[in-house]
Each structure stands twice: as structure tokens, then as C-alpha cells.
Structure 1
Amino acid sequence: MRVSFVLPSDASTGGVRVVYEYADRLVARGHDVTVVVPAVPPYPLRLLREQGPLTVARKALDASGSGGGVGWETDAEVLRLPALRRPFLDRIPEGDAVVAPSWRSAPAVARLPESAGAPFHLVQHYEAWALWDDEGCWRRAERLATERDLPVPAAMAAIEPGLRLRGYKRRVDDALSLSTRKVVVTAWLGTVLDRVFGQDSTRIPNGVGHGTFYPDDGSDHVGEEDGRRDDGDTDLRVLAPYRTTEWKGTADALAAFRRVRRERDDVRFGMFGPSGGASDLPSWVEFHGRVTDSRLRRLYSTADVFVFPSWVEGFGLPPLEAMACGTAVLSTAVGVVRESTDEGALTVPPRDPEALGEALAGLLADPGRREAVAATGRDTVDRFRWRDAVPALETVLAGSDAAAGDGHTAAGGIDRGTGRVGADTHDRGDTT
């Protein structure tokens, strides 16, 4: 089978990582796979503001057409294009299936000729990012969720935002309304497509790299920076991701840390992530910056609790990675944690830093509970394997979803202009 994945950019994100996981594993199964990477992403206003039009134009001119130059190692062919526009799109090879992993590349995929392959959209989030950072949008979504018995994230896709965000949301919604075949990574995204856009989807949860993430106490590595505990080190360790985007919940994690720190002095706090803005972190938070997979594995493994504070997630790989490393996970009830982890993580409502702090204090005070949560987490994460996800996607791309997970069939729907839920709709998402 000949498959192309059309990225909107080559950014270092979880969604892009998922694409390269699929690409490499499909190559290993004997398929011809091309990853298409534009030098200039669709809707490049932010890039233009940050780097200037001359730099952006130079990037487009320097796009080489094929070969390396991307920030990921891959066994797939890489096709670099100046932009996802004609005539550059004509360079995408003929194939059997072409996949957009983001709303930003979905319109380009939908415009490709039939010779490029059947068009698919791998929906990994409701990517109207600005809505998740807007308090007014959250209030509207929470009201609609209560009124219509919807998950709050699904309700966000149904609201009518203020005028400032209306055009932006419309572009996202128009991309999700295209006649591409949809694959979702969690049930709530299937609910969005079903009840908001009246579209079917097939659910295929992501896998976890069990060959990369496993218990590793750092005993074979030299240096405290690698996560090794020194002899006699009895302090408890808490780890969380650091992100500058508000809906990732970094401020909530810090509030929970402060709650614990007021009560005890034997806990060490750490964060990892991009360095932008990290200078504002308190001095008592050890910041690890961007880390390699091997170092992240050791950080997970030597933490007593991993805190995942996001307000919303399309899927949310970090909690599963921490579970695979044998760490007790405290997470907001979002993404795959909300739907599939049973008792594999201790969960609290999102956007509630007080509940997060109380749960963290309780978990740190109870070694038996931490061990029980960690043990259940190890059992839970064993269900998320690429060896299951890749054949399922392979089956869907080949034209049959009989073995690929839950389907979501359109019924009724939500009037996107008013947010009304049709009387005959219901949530078909499997949240167990």
C-alpha cells in the first residue's frame, strides 16, 4: 500500500510524533510511506510576525523537495514542499491513501486528485486552540454540557464564540466538515464528529512506546541530571510537564505544588518542557528543559508521582508513558485518562487547582495508595500498544474498518449556529 501523511508543519508536538510512529511502523510492515512537510505552514500569520516575511520566503525557497532536513528521524520518505498549495501539491506521489493529521492540512488533502489516494483525516484533537484559552468559551461550553449531557470538550465544539474567535473557529469546523474519512484517537472526538458535524468515525487509540518507556531507576547512569537518586536520598519527587499554553494547566500544577510545599519539606518538584517562559518558575522547581526520551524515561521512573494538569487533551500520551515507567499518576480527567484508565490514575476535575493540590497531598502521604495506583497503571498501559494500533489503521486505510475499533454513526446532530442538540442524538462514545 502507498500512503502519504501530509503534515501542517514539522513542529515538535505529540501529534507529529504519532505520525512518525505510524509512518515508520507501516514501512516496517512493507508499505511505501511518504511524509509531506511544508516549509511554510498553512495560516502562517504567527510565523510571519515572529520571523518576518523575508525569512519565511527564504524557507519556502529553500525547501528541497525530498530527503532529510526535518527534525525527526524516520524510515519513511520525506517530501519537503514550500507550502501546501498548488503547484507544490502536485508533487505528492500517487498512492492508495493520503492522511491529514491536522485540520490545517485537511483542506489540502481534500483538494488532491484521486490519484493521490483516498483522503483521510486523523483527528487528534479539536484544534481550535484559542477557544481553550478563552474563559468566556469555557463558560459557554460548561453551560451547554450541563444542559445537553455532553462532555465539556465536545460542547466546546458546539458553542458560538464571541466575534473575535468566530472566524477562527469556522475555519477549524469547515475542515472537520470536509468529506474525508475520519479516524479519531479518543471517544470524545468521535462524539464531536457525530453530534456536532454529523460524521462517522473510527476510533483507534494511540500506542505507547513500551520499548522506550519502562521502569528505569537511573542506577546505570551517572549524574543527578539523569534522574538517579543518590544514596540516602529519601525525599519524595513530583514531576509535571511545563507548557506555556494556559489550557495545559501549568499554573494549576504549580498551585498544587505550593499547597504541598506549605505542609512538608521533604518533597522535590520538577518540570520538563520547552524553555520559553521557564525563567518565571519558582527557584524550588527543578526545570529539566527539553529532554530526550531516555532522560524522560528516567525522570518518570524516579518520580514518586507524575502530575498531568491539562484542562483538555485530544489523547494525552504523557500519563501513559509515566504509567509504563511504573510511576503513580495524578491527572485531570481528560483525554484517554478520562476514558480508558479505570483506576490506573488518580483523577480530579480539570481547571480545579484546589482539588489537584488536595489529591497530590493525599497521594504523597499514602505510600500504599501510590503503589496501588502505580500497579494498576502498569496493567492499564499494557492495553495501549502500537502493535494493535498500526494494523487497525492499516485496515482502515485499505478500505475496511471492521477490526479497527468503535464506529460513530451520525444521528440528529447539533446546529452549529445555535448549539442546539437534536432530540434524537446521544453520546455513543465508549468511556469505559
Structure 2
Amino acid sequence: MSVPTGIAAAMKINFVMPPIASISGGPLAILEYANRFLEAGHVVSITTYPDTNWSGDNPYPWFKFKGELHYKRLRGLQLGPEQGLDLSKIDRSDLQRLSDAISITLGPSALRELVLSSSANVPNKMALSTVVDEALNWLYTMEVMPDCDINIATFWSTAFPVYFSGKGKPVFFMQHLEEVFYPIQNDLLLNKILARSAYSLPLFKIANSSWLRDQIKLRYGQNVPFSTNAIEIGDFNPRPKTSETDGVIRLVTYARPEDWKGFADAVAAVSQARSRLGGKLQWNVFGYKHPVLTEQNAYAPYVYHPKLSFAALADLYATSDIALCPSWYESFPLPPLEAMASGTATITTGAGTEDYAFDGDNAWVVGSRDTTAMADAICRLATDPSLRSKLATNGRKTAERYTWSRAASEREALLLDIHEGRIAYNPNQGISAGLADVNGIAFERAPLDITDHREGLYWNHGALFLFKDGVRHHVTEGDLIPLLIERGYGYVDVSDLDAIRIPAGRPICTPSDIH
């Protein structure tokens, strides 16, 4: 195994990732990092949910991961009517015994049924079933999780097993502010709250855009680093536009039905633009079919291209004159960058594209949900070939900088900083209540008259503590003492009274707890 240049030893890196049935930009980026870290000489694995959460032989059938895959094999161990057990009639005193037996022998689906059926008098259990489903997946995921140096959460639901497993330094590769995925509806409200809570966990966070970095600073008070994702630049290349032969301007848009993806706004904008341009605009749409605004909708009909291959998608991008990307907010979305790489003038919203889309230079940037501005941009670009050419040329130059070799190298360097303790922010900051005393000191930290203590180790009533960042961390394992001293923590004098007044922080139980 080769060792990466400048790195003394390869890291053991584990990604924790839910199974994903179809290709999507965020999971694609995670799997690309995993393969590239492996090729760089690190030991890389992926841990995913039990096989009862996905079908077939591969939780990622659209991607060839080259490393080791860990998951609990439970398929076929399902509790169904054939067992003849009416779970709604089980005596509650037997629940613990039965839950232990069912979880071991029949898998998480059976245990889920047991838990939910034991509350037969609750009329609507859909929202609460989220907690049951996720908790079972987390337990089985932690059970098969390998020992590692770096343990990487890739979605809010994986942050919990990564942190509570105690294996490796817990890292969160944040792909979005994920609570935006869930509207404020009863059946999704717990998902929204759990997603928000995941960002409060004391994990080492890495954002994928400056927009997401700024959101974490605003909401959780942490100055986390960011490094952007990339595209396979060789997959996208400029080519002659079809409009050069028939004079019809072609607009292309990626569609998804979620409100925040903004497809309804695109329909409204195209409707306005067509009222001004007449029949000179053909609209091509790819991605996921909208359940209401179908290709023959009454406002802005379009040509729908389902299940495009990479080659067909590249051709659609490159032969189109304009790309419209209408999301309300994103965190480093790929469609605008892919369109730019294809030599196509791109209209995009600004939230999440700030790192590569610059208004008037390489793209036309509009405000989220501003359909009039989108329509204006479509009309101007449709009638101004020189402006289209300028944006297309500059957009391609920008896209050429976003290679996977660069992205993987930057992300690898951040992981090495975390691994070796060179990190400039406090991962505990996100769980602060935000309340302060009269001196402006957070209630979770030591008061002003104690903060002059030098950070270090101290004994109190037979227990060892680390005083750091204004809190006391109970060191539960004696084997960790040499490692703490190696990290530069000496012994300091702390009186019994001061020891009592220092707020308790997280215990230090494993090497991964030492930051």
C-alpha cells in the first residue's frame, strides 16, 4: 500500500452512509471521496444500514466502491403473520424480554413492529415511527462499524451512530443544511428536528461550500472549514449548439418535485419568458418527474428526458443555449457547474453557488424565487448571442478548476489536520445553550475567576479530569493518560472548590475524544 505524499502514515477512514438506490449529487460526491482516499493509500471502508433497508446485492448499485463494505445481514429475518404473533396483545411486562429476543433473531423490522404495536391505542404513530426506525438502524450500524482513525458522517441520520460509537474521530461531511429537506408537516417534523440536532453534535464539521460554512457560523457559532466538491470535467465539453442550424433557442433545467428545488418557479419564469419571446424557446427538462407540473402543464409545457445516461445528459447540456437552475437554496449544487462546463450560459440562484457563479462574469445570478428576474435573464440571453457566448466561455474556464484531484486533495488535508489535532475550532460549540452570565461567560464554561487556570490534567477525589475550554472532562481510562501528556497536557493545581464550580463537559473515554 502506498502512503500519500507528506503523510507519515495512512489513515483508517470509515464513511457511514445510508443506502442510496439511485444516483444523486451528494452521495456521488461522498463515494468519489471514498475511492480517491483509497487510491491515495488510506484504508477506506463504508458502513451502511442493515440489508433490510435496500434490495439487491449493493446498497449503491450505480457506483463501484473499491473498498470494504460493512453492514448487518438481516434480510430474511422478518417477523410476519406466519409467526402467528399478535404484537398488540403482548403484556408490557414482557416487552423487554421479547424485544431482546426479536432484535437478535428476527431483525429490526420485527422489533419496530413490536414497539409500534405495543402502543395500539395511539391513533397516529407515523411521525414517531421515525425515531424507532432510525434508532434501530443506528444500533445495527454501530454494531458492525470497524475501528478507524476518522469516522465520517455523511447525512444527518448517520451523525448519531458516528458520534455515539466512539470509534475514530467523529467528522461530518456536510452536504447541505439538511433540515430544509423537510417541510413543516406532522409526519416530517421529527425528521426536521433530528436533522437540526445532528448539527449540534460535537463533531468535526467540514462544509462543502462557503454558504454552508456561513450557515453553521450563524446558527451554531462554529467557524468550520469548507472545501468544495467537483465534477468529472472530462464528462462535459462544449459542442455546437443545435440553435445554430434551426434558430430555436433551447433552455435546459434539472427538475425535482421538492418545493425548495424551485421547479414551480422555473415553470412560472418560462411562462413569462415565452409570452415575450413567442415560439423561439424550446424547454428541455431532465431529472425527476413533477407529480403536478407535467410536461403538458397549462403554463409552460416542456420536453421531458427521463433516465438520461451521463453521455446523453452531457449532450443535452452542451447542445442547449441556456441552463436555468432555480433552487431556493443549495450547497454547492452540481447542475449549474455541469452546465458551465458544457459551454452553456447559465442562470442560477445565488444561495450555495457563491464559490463558482459570479453574476455578469460567468453566470447570470438571480434571487431565489424571483421569477421575473429569471424571465428577464432568459429573454436577454435568448436575444443576445454575444452575452451567451461570454458567459459560456467564462463558465467553462471556471468549471475547469473544479477537478476531483483538487477536491480530494483539499479534503484529505483537512482530515489530516483533524487526525493530528491541528484544528482551529471547538467542536463542542454547537451544543452551547447560548446563555451567558453577567461577565458574558457561557454558562457551560467556568466562571471568570477560574478561567486563568492553565489548561491541563488534575485529580479530584480519586478521579482524573482534563480542564480544557472552560469545562472539566472526566478521563475514564488510565490508558489515555500517556496520550494526553503526549498532546501537551500537563498537570495543574485545581482546588476542590474550583473543581466543583467548573461545569462538566463530555467524558474522555477513547482516543477519539481527545481534540
Question: Which TM-score bucket, shorter chain as reference?
Answer: 0.7 to 0.9
Tell me which of 250, 257, 266 is aligned to 2:280. Answer: 266
Tell me which of 210, 214, 220 is aligned to 2:233. Answer: 210
Query: Hey, what's the Cα distance between the residues in 2 that align with 1:231 and 1:249?
Result: 30
Q: Structure 1: 5+ residue runs without aligned partners?
A: 41-58, 135-161, 218-227, 425-432
SS of 1:398 mapped into structure 2: helix
Query: Hey, what's the Cα distance between the residues in 2 that align with 1:266 and 1:62?
Result: 45
- The equivalent residue for 1:172 is 195
- The equivalent residue for 1:397 is 415
Query: Hey, what's the Cα distance between the residues in 2 that align with 1:99 and 1:275?
Result: 32
Moved more, 262-271 or 305-314: 262-271
- The equivalent residue for 2:28 is 17
Contact in 2 for aligned 1:235/1:268 (Cα 8 Å): yes
Q: CA 1:192–1:240 in structure 2 vs 1: closer, same or farther (change >3 Å)? A: same
Offset of residue 4 of structure 1: 1.3
Contact in 1 for aligned 2:269/2:375 (Cα 8 Å): yes
Contact in 2 for aligned 1:345/1:373 (Cα 8 Å): yes
Contact in 2 for aligned 1:202/1:401 (Cα 8 Å): no
2:395 equivalent to 1:373 = no
Query: Hey, what's the Cα distance between the residues in 1 that align with 2:49 and 2:343?
Result: 38
Contact in 1 for aligned 2:207/2:225 (Cα 8 Å): yes
Contact in 2 for aligned 1:195/1:410 (Cα 8 Å): no
Residues matched between the structures, number: 357
Query: Hey, what's the Cα distance between the residues in 1 that align with 2:146 and 2:41?
Result: 17
- The equivalent residue for 1:288 is 305
Tell me which of 213, 219, 227 is aligned to 1:190. Answer: 213
Query: Hey, what's the Cα distance between the residues in 1 that align with 2:191 and 2:178?
Result: 10
Amino acid at match of 1:91: V
Amino acid at match of 1:172: A
Offset of residue 386 of structure 1: 1.5
Q: CA 1:416–1:323 in structure 2 vs 1: closer, same or farther (change >3 Å)? A: farther
Amino acid at match of 1:393: R
2:148 equivalent to 1:95 = yes
Q: CA 1:99–1:27 in structure 2 vs 1: closer, same or farther (change >3 Å)? A: same
Query: Hey, what's the Cα distance between the residues in 2 that align with 1:399 and 1:231?
Result: 51
Query: Hey, what's the Cα distance between the residues in 1 that align with 2:143 and 2:178?
Result: 27
Amino acid at match of 2:315: R
Deviations 1:309-366 (A, max 9, x none): 0001021111011111111001111212x34322221011101111111111111111
SS of 2:48 mapped into structure 1: strand
Q: Structure 2: 5+ residue runs without aligned partners?
A: 1-10, 75-135, 442-515
Q: CA 1:26–1:276 in structure 2 vs 1: closer, same or farther (change >3 Å)? A: same
Rg larger in structure: 2
Q: After superposition, where does 1:20-169 map in structure 2 within 5 Å?
A: 20-39=31-50, 59-60=52-53, 70-81=61-72, 84-114=137-167, 117-129=168-180, 133=183, 167-169=190-192
Q: TM-score, normalised by structure 2?
A: 0.62
Query: Hey, what's the Cα distance between the residues in 2 that align with 1:417 and 1:359?
Result: 43
Contact in 2 for aligned 1:194/1:413 (Cα 8 Å): no
SS of 1:392 mapped into structure 2: helix
Offset of residue 415 of structure 1: 8.8
Deviations 1:240-281 (A, max 9, x none): 011111111111111121122223212211000123527722
Query: Hey, what's the Cα distance between the residues in 1 that align with 2:20 and 2:374?
Result: 33
- The equivalent residue for 2:7 is none
- The equivalent residue for 2:339 is 322
Amino acid at match of 2:69: V
Query: Hey, what's the Cα distance between the residues in 1 that align with 2:316 and 2:309?
Result: 10
Q: CA 1:69–1:318 in structure 2 vs 1: closer, same or farther (change >3 Å)? A: closer
Q: TM-score, normalised by structure 1?
A: 0.74
Amino acid at match of 2:357: T
2:404 equivalent to 1:386 = yes
SS of 2:246 mapped into structure 1: coil
- The equivalent residue for 2:247 is 234
Deviations 1:287-324 (A, max 9, x none): 00121211111111001000000001021111011111
Q: CA 1:231–1:315 in structure 2 vs 1: closer, same or farther (change >3 Å)? A: closer
How high is the sequence identity, in percent, across the aligned residues?
28
Contact in 1 for aligned 2:19/2:60 (Cα 8 Å): no
Amino acid at match of 1:127: E
Query: Hey, what's the Cα distance between the residues in 1 that align with 2:429 and 2:199?
Result: 17
- The equivalent residue for 1:309 is 326
Query: Hey, what's the Cα distance between the residues in 1 that align with 2:14 and 2:137?
Result: 13
Deviations 1:220-246 (A, max 9, x none): xxxxxxxx9499422111000111111
- Return the structure number with greater relative CO, CA threshold 8 A, min gap 6: 1
Moved more, 31-40 or 380-389: 31-40
Contact in 1 for aligned 2:231/2:403 (Cα 8 Å): yes
SS of 2:279 mapped into structure 1: coil
Contact in 2 for aligned 1:195/1:412 (Cα 8 Å): no
Contact in 2 for aligned 1:10/1:37 (Cα 8 Å): no
- The equivalent residue for 1:430 is none
Amino acid at match of 2:43: D
SS of 1:258 mapped into structure 2: helix
Contact in 1 for aligned 2:201/2:430 (Cα 8 Å): no
Amino acid at match of 1:124: Q
Offset of residue 173 of structure 1: 2.2
Q: Which runs of 4+ in 1 moved over 6 A?
A: 61-64, 162-166, 406-418
Contact in 1 for aligned 2:45/2:70 (Cα 8 Å): yes
SS of 1:307 mapped into structure 2: strand
Q: CA 1:230–1:171 in structure 2 vs 1: closer, same or farther (change >3 Å)? A: closer
Query: Hey, what's the Cα distance between the residues in 1 that align with 2:429 and 2:38?
Result: 40
Query: Hey, what's the Cα distance between the residues in 2 that align with 1:38 and 1:414?
Result: 27
Query: Hey, what's the Cα distance between the residues in 2 that align with 1:371 and 1:294?
Result: 23
Offset of residue 5 of structure 1: 1.1
